[in-house]
Structure 1
Amino acid sequence: MGYHKEGSLALALILQLSLIIDGRHNTGKPEYKTVAGRTRVSADSKPVEKDNSSACCSRGRVANYGPTVNIQHISQSQGIFPQLAVFADSAHKRSECGIGALMPWLEKLYMVTYLSVPDGGNGTGLYSIDKNMQLTKLASHQSTFANRLIHKETSQIIIGPWIIDSKETIRTFSQLLHVRITATAEHMEAPEIQVYMLDMDGPLWECDVIRLNCSQLYNLVDELKIPFNQQPHFKAAHTMNGRLVVASNTFDENDLIGEQHGGRLAEWQGTGKDWTILENTAFVEVTGRRNLGQVIYAVGWDHRSVILKVFDGQTSDSQSDSKDPLNRGLWKTYRLPKASHAYDHLWQTEWTRIREVETERYLMDAHGMFYELSPLGWAGSTWGIRPISQHLRIVPDFTSYRGFLVLGGNQVSSIFDSNVVTGQSQSGLWFGKTDDLWAFGKPQGWGAVWRRDRVTKGKPSDPFLMTGFDKKVVHFIVHSDKAVHFTIEVDVTGTSGQLSGEDWQVMRRLTVDTYEYYSFRDGFTAHWVRVVANADCMATVYFMYT
């Protein structure tokens, strides 16, 4: 990966200025003090006060639980501050220490780390970073947490099993301390006092944010008919447009060879309604804003490509012509290239998010590629998307804090000593500017609209993203006995044929007996591309961008 030099210089300058303003600039080493069994780093020679409050609590302020590191005495390199790294214990058991969620709140940055499974190690916890870039461990846990939400009705944030109010009071959903919480979503029927909590293993919980009690609503493994020999791996949930949408990213060799499909994208419209399965493949993220078109985005993948599902809450479903507001909108499917095959297995993906890191602009991470994404859904289309950069970093969450783009990480994971050369599980944060991402790897990738698929005569493929890539080629393979005529169509304006007068344009026609390829000319591009066959057949159409 590349990195703008000015990004590092800006970080260094900000730190130097903060030291000068505070009048604490010195070149000495930090002084370590032990208080109540905890080692802390002091910014000066003044004693550190003893804190007698409990380490983690269901009520009251949480105590500093572990080392506090003051960044005024440490260095950084290209946006990485080594002393802000977090660790799981080296002692048995050894699994993981990913940074599952990042949440700015009360002028601090809160974050929670995770093990791979409950009781799969020690050392993970809830942390905060303050305005002086001082890292404090607030609580320890032994589970998997990657959820975050503002409960706007009570002005509290939920991160992991903890809920933090506007006075920094931290309370705990004690029933969920050994549950793998991967998402929190707003409640559809009692949003003032309740939220949904999604367990990676399938249970969907309903939790009271006042009393802190939780009850299980569903086991989604049963509701969504996940095969008994497939591992459920629920990752995301979002409430909007009168529905709760959930995502599970189960994907393994069974999906590649077409034997079984354990991943799911599904929605539920509340009490008395059945769950609806939208996709039977891996999905890892779902989110949206309540304005600017009320668009819901969901990201997943199959053996062909990355999938972007889009629900426009302001567009009527032309197929049902329903006047019911819960049935307004229509899910549309778009395909994007994979930038790496190192994200294909359900364990490899972690959480690839869509977050708003600049006001009313999304940053999307999908299969090793960062994308710019607009929250708008005008004319029922998704046109505000383009690739930014390719990367190999695992980014379970990212956010904005004090002008920085902050990327979480999951750098080293032994996973019960499956890899005996990794050492201690640990992760770090990356601080930079949003525009630094353009200096990461050049956007490249590949993906199919059809892959060993039965193709219907005259039925177009899903749109495949074309804009923002350099060299482009498409491969055609016919798995049938007869030659097939294919038409390549492009969407120049980005409305994918949804706006009157902006139809798909015929770009090229090819006749394929067994195999042909077509290289797009240098400089040629469009927003979306799709393919149409003139006969029923079995075919593969595979795009490669370099």
Structure 2
Amino acid sequence: MVLWVLTLVMVSCKNKAEELTKTPIKKAAEVVSKDGEITQVSGDLKIGGVYPHLTTYAHGRLDGTYGFGSECGIGALAVWNDKLYMINYAAHQPKGSEHKLYIIDEDMNMEIFEGSIGGTPTARMVHQESNQLLIGPYVIDSTGNIRVVPYSRMEGRLNAYARHLKNPETMVYMYDMEGMLYELNVNTLEVNKLFDDPLPGWHGKGGYTSQGRLVVSNNGEHASEGRVTHDTQDWANEHYKWEESWKVDKEGIFGPDNLGILAEFDGDNFKVIERSQFTDITTKHGIYAVPNDDSPLWAIGWDKKSVRLKVLDNGEWHTYLLPKATYNNDPPHGWFTEWPRIRAVGNGKMMMDMHGMFYDFPESFSASNTAGIKPMGSHLRYIPDFLNWNDQIVLATDETSIQGNPLAGQPQSNLWFGNYSELSNWGPASGYGAVWLKEKVVAKTPSDPYLMSGFDNRILHLQNSGNTPVSVTLEIDPNGDNNWTALKTIAIEKGGYTNHIFEKGLKAEWIRLTSNRASELTAAFHFTDDNLKDGFEGTDLFKDLADIDYAGEVNHAKLYSNKTNFNLSVYTGAIQGGEFTKKEGLEFTKFDFEFVKGIKDTTSLEALTVESVGAQVDFNNNKVESDAVSANHVWSEDEASIIVHAKEYDLRLPKGKVDYQDILPPGTTRFRREVESERELANVGGTFYELPLFKVGQEPRYKMMRPVATHNKQISDFNTWNGLLVLSGIKKDASNSEHIYTSADGEASLWFGGIDDLWSFGKPVGKGGPWKDSAVKANELSDLYLMTGYDKKTLKLRADKDVKITLLIYVNHYLDEPMKYKTFDIKAGEELTYEFPEGFSAHWAQVKTDKACSATAWFIYE
């Protein structure tokens, strides 16, 4: 065996680069290789909770040349033999790929298993009787010896191991993403396929054995079943294809919202529990699955209304609803919700991560004891798995994919290490959802319980779309013991809207609603956080990023994660005369964290392109024909607001500290970019926004956007590379630090940190509106104006005539019609100020007048 130690090579590179770069204090990486493949990596550089040398790729080639694999999320983590084991995954590779099994020791030295066979694995379980860890296709004994189950024997995207119902001492179940169910002998590694796609739905996810049954889940629908999307709502039974392999009855299988599945298997037969999209299934024992487990079993999923928590307790199923912090995960195909988990995180704590929100999750949670679930906070990071190791929380990530993402050359992901308390200090504990969405509600039938505990501000929006008045009774469960107490009864006229803001001191674990009459009702909740950041803690963190009104010189750059090597391409430049002018091409190196002259990867020229309306790429990043509107910039600014120009509509956003187009005009800086796999951020008007996708390469679902933080900086580009968020737009005189790397000549500099550091810029703020001294036609609705995610809200109205101005609000992303919130009588020439009550929240606002006039509708978000 010949090992090539690259330390000397790296030193020689460093000598050549000394004139270009201020050398980092700590080593970024030292590498050992064999036959051109990396076998070991070490390093001690840590930035924002990330060790860059632990970055995983779709391959292990020493020269960094990308081959194949459009994704490499870290799908599963496990602690075994005092080491951290992890596997990364490809997109749809049931027969294997170049992805790897990684082993990390307590000194952060990483070994890459030479026998790795890749694929799309995320399964992990400890088999108690044989004392072996099963992780993806790898079986690891108590001494660290690794055996491999080849894909020729067990083909599939391996999602979930579970204890066997009939032969648990020697056998386990394996459930894969295509829906195949195998049994594996953990001693001989012999495989037997039991079923090939026995259930409706697609994109298999969870599997766990408890209370004498195996429970499995799918989180999407497959195009081969003739399914259409939430967006079209074109549902009919003839659109469905019945698969002959399915082992359940047709009754109740088809319907407009029947997406994914939760089902159970008794060893012989399958039973459908629910046709909704589900992911993780587990008990308090997690991957350390125990014999004859009778613990309550938990399954997490969602529908268009809410996050769904199903509980199997003493053989009976129960349903609980929770809010969504983000809508990234919602598409019915299920691709964007891969492996959120419920898992132990040390010190007797468990944590749930679902739809962008961390929750404290009590291991005592059952149908008779539902107290203790509380939101911790939201996040931007895409997290397929997490655990506690060496007194730290470790988060796996699915970071940079290249499917439908032409702004990155090769996929890569890394880990985050930190304290449990840090997770509550990222995004706000704010979430949104519903128990009814313009649906026919049966009289005197309580809704499913909806989580109330742990949220600061809570508002309920109610609308009666029926033809008769109704009264809706609100009941709360104060202690999580199923003792329900009537809180309030609210009358709603036919066609009417009202809302209820709950008292802050109200103690309630859960709430449920009951209507006295059958009607078509909506009941939507908005829960928001009081403790939004004011930006103070980010003052030092971001001090070297140039403020928007900074008068000094600024180092701007456009960024690209390379395809032909592991480096970051950096096109330095200046923003002058309404354009970004390129100065020099540099590469920032993977192993040394240094700037070197020249860009070797010609595909990085994509970073210099300017996005336009209607532009699309396909899965493989080829350009797609677009409409004529593609020549237009995606955003502009007028006297009233920032305007986002989608293909079929315009949306308006608050303005930041100054008129941004005067300093950073449209097209000079990056507007939107994928920063986590299948998740995008927009940077416009001094604020970052999260943009959910429906399909990679297509225009985002702008109407589901949420603001992240207001920075009021000159950020010209942003990117994820080497497990880190990279920002450009740095003061030229910035000094090197943990987060800042500047070239020796001072002409290039970048900021590095974690993706969820963005929250530390401070809460979203701004002002503007749909109208500013605008000529308005009678009863014509204004453009939509964003309200989601802002704190203290004030509305100022004025007009040049006596008019009535009606404010309409959108409270759920799956409702097309707005609700009439309030009508204001405006006297000509006088300004009316309305302060929204504390706790008020809605997604979008529109206004209209009863007469043609010149009017202003001005929102101030503080």
TM normalised by structure 1 equals: 0.80
Is the contact made by 1:465 and 1:528 (CA closer than 8 Å) also made in structure 2? yes
Mapping 1:65-464, distance limit 5 Å: 66-71=38-43, 74-89=44-59, 91-118=66-93, 123-138=98-113, 139-174=115-150, 175=152, 178-219=155-196, 221=197, 223-226=198-201, 232-250=202-220, 254-255=229-230, 257=233, 259=256, 261-271=258-268, 274-289=269-284, 294-313=295-314, 329-345=315-331, 346-377=334-365, 380-415=368-403, 418-464=404-450
Structure 1 distance, partners of 2:96, 2:149, is 21
Tell me the alpha carbon deviations over residues 264-313 of structure 1, each in whole angstroms, 9 at most, x when there is no partner. Answer: 00011123xx2111110100011003699711111000011000011123
Whether the aligned pair in 2 keeps the contact of 1:312 and 1:377 (CA below 8 Å) is no
Consecutive unaligned residues in structure 2, runs of 5 or more: 1-23, 60-64, 222-226, 234-254, 529-862
Answering whether residue 517 of structure 2 is matched by residue 535 of structure 1, we say: yes
Of 458, 461, 466 in structure 2, the residue corresponding to residue 472 of structure 1 is 458
The secondary structure found in structure 1 opposite 2:220 is: coil
Q: Contact 2:28–2:45 (CA<8 Å) still a contact in 1?
A: no
Q: Deviations over 1:28-81 (max 9, x none)?
A: 868967654256xxxxxxxxxxxxxxxxxxxxxxxxxx231223xx31112111
How far does residue 452 in structure 1 lie from its aligned partner after superposition? Answer: 2.4
Distance 1:298 1:157, change over 3 A: same
Residue 163 of structure 1 deviates from its aligned partner by 0.1
What is the identity, as a one-letter code, of the residue corresponding to 2:466?
Answer: S
Matched residue, 2:490: 509
From the superposition, tell whether residues 394 and 215 of structure 1 become closer, same or farther in structure 2 (CA, over 3 Å): same
Q: Distance in 1 between matches of 2:266 and 2:96?
A: 38
1: CA distance between counterparts of 2:485 and 2:402? 49
Kindly state the Cα deviation for residue 99 of structure 1 after the two structures are TM-superposed: 0.2
Q: 1:359 to 1:152 in 2, by over 3 A?
A: farther
CA contact (8 A) 1:143 1:178 kept: no
CA distance in 2, matches of 1:27, 1:531: 59
The amino acid of 1:192's aligned partner reads E
Shift of 1:255: 4.8
- Taking the aligned partners of 2:25 and 2:349, their CA distance within structure 1 comes to 41
Distance in 2 (CA, whole Å) between partners of 1:186 and 1:210 is 14
CA 1:140/1:260 → structure 2, altered by over 3 Å: closer, same or farther? same
RMSD over aligned CA atoms reads 2.4
Give the superposition deviation at 1:102: 0.4
Are the counterparts in 1 of residues 29 and 42 from structure 2 also a CA contact under 8 Å?
Answer: no
User: Which amino acid is the alignment partner of residue 526 of structure 1?
Assistant: A
- How many equivalent pairs are there? 462
State the structure with more CA Rg: 2
Q: How far apart in 1 are the matches of 2:428 and 2:507?
A: 16
SS in 2 for 1:347: coil
> What is the CA-CA distance between 1:27 and the residue it aligns to?
6.8
Distance in 2 (alpha carbons) for counterparts of 1:376 and 1:348: 30
**Contact (CA 8 Å) 2:94, 2:120: kept in 1 or not?**
no
Q: CA deviation at 1:363?
A: 0.6
Matches of 1:339 and 1:378, distance apart in 2: 24
Distance 1:255 1:490 in 2: 32
The answer to whether 1:488 aligns with 2:469 is no
Instruction: Name the amino acid aligned to 2:500.
Output: Y
Letter in 2 for 1:241: Q
SS at match of 1:513: coil
SS of residue matched to 2:207: strand
| TM-score (normalised: structure 2) | 0.51
- Structure 1 unmatched ranges of 5 or more: 1-25, 40-65, 227-231, 314-328
Contact 2:28 2:52 in 1 (8 A): no
Distance 1:31 1:362 in 2: 33
Query: 8 Å contact 1:466–1:529 — kept in the other structure?
Result: yes
Q: Does 1:37 align with 2:35?
A: yes
- SS of 1:541's equivalent in the other structure is strand
Residue 393 of structure 2: SS of its match in structure 1? Answer: strand
Of 90-99 and 203-212, the range deviating more from structure 2: 90-99
Q: Aligned pair in 2 of structure 1 residues 479, 433: CA closer, same or farther (>3 Å)?
A: same
The Cα shift of 1:524 comes to 3.2
One-letter amino acid of the structure 1 residue matched with residue 106 of structure 2: K
Match of 1:183, SS state, is strand
**Residues 115 and 124, structure 1, Cα contact 8 Å, conserved in 2:** yes
Q: Are 2:157 and 2:177, in contact at CA under 8 Å, matched by a contact in 1? A: yes
Q: Does the aligned pair in 2 maintain the 1:284–1:299 contact within 8 Å? A: yes
Please give the secondary structure, in 2, of the residue aligned with 1:436: helix
CA contact (8 A) 2:463 2:492 kept: no
Q: Post-superposition shift, 1:503?
A: 2.9
- Cα pair distance change 1:384/1:399, threshold 3 Å: same
In structure 2, C-alpha distance between the alignment counterparts of 1:165 and 1:422, rounded to whole Å? 38
CA distance in structure 1 between the aligned counterparts of 2:127 and 2:325, rounded to whole angstroms: 35
Match of 1:426, as an amino acid? Q
**1:398 Cα deviation from its structure 2 partner:** 0.6
Distance 1:456 1:142, change over 3 A: same
CA distance in 1, matches of 2:90, 2:392: 27
* Residues 141 and 177, structure 1, Cα contact 8 Å, conserved in 2: no
Instruction: Tell me the secondary structure at the aligned position of residue 335 of structure 1.
Output: strand
Work out whether residues 293 and 378 of structure 1, in 8 Å CA contact, stay in contact via their aligned partners in 2.
Answer: no
1:198 and 1:37 map into 2 onto residues whose CA distance is 35
Relative to structure 1, the CA distance from residue 180 to residue 280 in structure 2 (aligned partners, 3 Å threshold; closer, same or farther) is same
